[in-house]
Structure 1
Amino acid sequence: MTTTTPLPLTTTFSPPEACMTDTWFIEYVSGINYYTEIITGTNTSWWLSLGPTKTSTCFPSGYQTNTDFYYSPGVCPSGYWIAQETVLTTGTETETRGTCCPNNYQAQTETNLAWYTHNACTSYNPTSTQVWKFTKAGTTSSTTRADGINAPGISIRWKEGEVVPQTSTFASSTSIATAPTATEDPTPPESNGGLSTGAKIGIGVGVAVGGIVIIALLAFFCLYRRKNKSSELSGSENPRSEMRPVVELSDNYRPAELQASFARPVEMDGHGQQSDLYTRGLQQRWELDTGPGKF
């Protein structure tokens, strides 16, 4: 392989959509990849590859194939992640080397494969019922089998102290990382399974406020009941200065009457003697009234 001077790639490159979705059937003969022709023979190899025939549009400016070209310092394109990463230390310098692969792809582990130079990434699906759709010699076709798809990889490097944000990193490891298969969703970063500090503070404040509200409601309820009870007691007690209730007579009570046979008034005998009283020389005459009984 030819070593060339690395180029910097400090901005995120965005490849066309076809580079991340189209699948091609490639035949390899004597170091040549055939996209648009069907080659038959015992010395041919074939594979499925991600991306269109003009792969130059799928790479950042200045990228070279069939070499060990890399960007330094460099960042992965949009839709890629660092599938493989190694750290090299020479003297006092530390350099990190990474292989950028499309999301859901992993780095090739066998460098002697015919497609390794152009396709440093792969995604394998062991399911025998997996349906693969691809373009072969300009015609869309499909096959059902346990197989995989290869994809171009982009090599980047950066040294310690170089501030190059790896914002497109899907996963990171110092060894070969296994990406999800083509039929699975990307595995999200693992979490610690606990609540964040902000969430814990929010829960604590909420519990404290709720407790204060409940205590205030209970205090108000107790005061309200005590006030009502005091009002009822004061309204039911009779003051000592109140008069005793009037006793009413029974309906069967009747006033007493004098007997009809009560003694009639006594009359003096008309022939009785007169009694003369003398007082101071004056003679007064007292006679009893003979009329009806008067007293």
Structure 2
Amino acid sequence: MSTLTTASGTASRTNLGPLTTTFTYPASCTVVVQECDACTNGWQAQTCSDNSFNAQGVQDDAECWPPRRGSQSTGVALNGWGFYSPGIECPAGYTTKCVSTDDVDGGFTFQFPLAKSETAIGCCPTGFQCKYTSGVDNAQTCFSIATTGSFAAVQCSSGKSNGFGYLDIPNTVAETNSGSEEAVTVSSFTVYAPLFQLHFQSSDLPSTKTGSITIDSITTSSSGSSSSAEPTQASSSDGGLSTGAKAGIGVGAGLGFIALIGVALFFMRRRKRHTAAPALTEVPKSELTAGQNQHAAELHAQSTPQELPGDSVPRYK
């Protein structure tokens, strides 16, 4: 860990190492760990384990992060581990969603500050957005709000899974308050996922990558010392984010904010070579008939996910 003096003071920087090749985000990492039946949020990239930080035993699954140097604390969900440098490749199933350059105003304010001449990008799952407000959020994350659809979910209790199933949104569940049971409707659900922060300098990039390409929606909002993405409604098919427009500029073209877009274009073109994993995809209702058993075997209290067949829905043992 190193420190960097910024306008707002001294900030810590943890370089997790390089990320220059594509890391495949495991299918098991897309399963959402739900806090409770009536809760309206959950987290990807978690595992049920022996974790003293919370009663459920939920903690970060280290297998869901690209290879890194050193050991990181996994006790607090999505608390931010550090940044990858040089980092020039978002994981498969992820895409560039926010960007900032050290000497350009208007970029996203990341949890881990940039050094001079550095550019940072934030990688999020398809259909998600970057989120971080300094002084408000404990750490930066990716998020998506679902108002309709069905996706894989699980809950943890005392470090073990209480059963894998599908969470339908909207959904009505029974909740007990003061000894009486009442129906609670969950009309929307917010899913959080790891935000992978990648740093690079111009010398780290290939000299090619020009032409007309398609870019995804990118969040680059900033206000004073804070920056965050506004919640967006996700559809059941692709998370509800628009595809964006085509632009014919190369990396390094233009100045100021155009430079930020140029960086985003470069990374989006690299991502188009890989097949993205779906986020919060709707499960056909024929697979969720009332007579089916939607629960798989119990998850062991360990941090290593089980190997999955390539064409199956993630399951926990």
Q: TM-score, normalised by structure 1?
A: 0.47
Rg larger in structure: 1
Higher relative contact order (CA 8 A, sep 6+): 2
Q: TM-score, normalised by structure 2?
A: 0.44
